[in-house]
Amino acid sequence: MSKIKSAKKIAVILSMIMVMSLGITGCGSSNSTDDLGIALITSAAGPNDNGYNASAIKGLEKVKSELGINYRVVESADIPGSLAELAKAGYKVIFSLEYNFDALINGVGGEKSIAEQYPDTTFIIFNDNPNVNEDGTPKHKNVISVLFDVHEASFLAGALSVLVNENHEELFEEADYNFTKGDAGRKVGFFGGTKSNGITVFGYGFAEGVNYVASNLGVKYTYLSDYNAGFTDSAAGATKANTFYSDGANVIFACAGAVGDGVTSKAKEVQKLAIEVDANKDNSQPGYVLTSVLKNTEVPVYSIAEHYKNNTMDEINGKVLSYNLDSKATGLTDLAVIESMVKESGKAKWKEIKTELETIASKIASGEIAVTNAQAGEAFNKANLSNVSMPND
What are the DSSP calls for 116-180, one per residue?
Answer: HH-TTSEEEEES----B-TTS-BS-TTEEEEEE-HHHHHHHHHHHHHHHHHTHHHHB-GGG--PP
Mean predicted lDDT score pLDDT of the chain: 91
pLDDT of residue 23: 45
Q: Pick the residue with more confidence: 326 or 69?
A: 69
CA angle 123, 200, 108 (to 5 degrees): 40
Is the model's pLDDT at 121 over the cut of 70?
A: yes
* pLDDT, average across residues 338-342: 98
pLDDT of residue 61: 97
pLDDT confidence band for 375 (50 / 70 / 90) = confident
Single out the residue of 172, 169, 118 nearest to residue 141, CA to CA.
118
* 83-97, 153-167, 319-333: the lowest-pLDDT one: 319-333
pLDDT at 279: 85
pTM of the complete model beyond 0.85? no
Q: How far apart are CA 79 and CA 62, in angstroms?
A: 25
| Band (3; pLDDT cuts 50, 70, 90) | very low
DSSP three-state, residue 380: coil
DSSP string, 226-246: ES---SS-HHHHHHHHHHHHH
**In this structure, are residues 113 and 140 in contact, taking their beta carbons and an 8 Å threshold?**
yes
Q: Check whether 328 has a pLDDT greater than 70.
A: yes
The backbone torsions φ and ψ at residue 145, rounded to the nearest 5 degrees and listed phi first, read: -105, 125
CA dist 346 and 353 (Å) reads: 11
What is the predicted pLDDT for the residue at 173? Answer: 97
Residue 73, CA distances (Å) to 35, 99, 329 in order: 16, 17, 21
The DSSP 8-state label assigned to residue 112 in this structure reads: P
- Contact predicate 124/96, CB 8 Å: yes
Distance (Å, whole) CA 114 – CA 390: 39
Helix, strand, coil proportions of the chain in percent (round to 5)?
45, 20, 35
Distance CA 198, CA 216 (A): 29
